Amino acid sequence: MALGAGGLFLMMLSGTIDALGRTLFSQPLWGAAELVELSMALMTFLIIPAVTRVRGHVSIDLLDNVLRPVRRFQHLLADVLGGGIFAVMAWRTWVQGDRAADYGDLTQIFQLPVSLVYHLAAILLGATVLSFVLNLIDDLSPEGPREPPHPDEVQTQ
């Protein structure tokens, strides 16, 4: 969480300094655009495993009352499909990172290996697969799936 907040602050700070530098001094912040791009990628892939683990993805509850009897099956299906899809994404992202390493691709400004970004993304996609597996274990437990509270069920103090 702190890493994500730090990344967001870094993006905001570099964007502000870049805009002020361009406007007031006709001198943009060197590497600001690339810093924002890298921070956005990092923040996106960092949050997906955590959101998956708490089942915090956007969902439509239009048929919740009708589908409540098959809720456990829904969770099982979503976790198996989600885990499989993210496993393929992690594998293909890792392969793409290997290709970038073979080509010697570097970022334009900072000259960082692009393969590093791909491999980090693949690792974090793998962490998302782990989140799906942990959710699947919860689904199969006698207590059933852990679910975030429904907005209608949240009590205000």
**Structure confidence by residue, pLDDT tens digits, 75-93:** 899 999 999 999 999 999 9
Q: Map tokens 């969480």 to a residue.
A: 1
Residues of the chain with pLDDT under 50: none
Q: What is the pLDDT of residue 67?
A: 72
Give the per-residue pLDDT at 103.
Answer: 95
**80-109: burial string, b at 16+ Cβ within 10 Å, e else:** eebbeebbebbeebbebbeebeeeeeebee
Alpha-carbon distance of 72 to 144, in angstroms, equals: 7
User: What is the pLDDT, as a whole number, of residue 148?
Assistant: 65
- 90 half-sphere exposure, CB direction, 13 A CA radius: 19
Helices within 26-149 (DSSP H only)? 32-53, 64-67, 71-103, 114-140
pLDDT in the model for residue 108:
92
Provide the pLDDT for residue 17. Answer: 92
Give the pTM: 0.82
> Tell me, what's the pLDDT at 60?
74
> Nearest 5°: phi and psi at 106?
-125, 155
pLDDT at site 153: 61
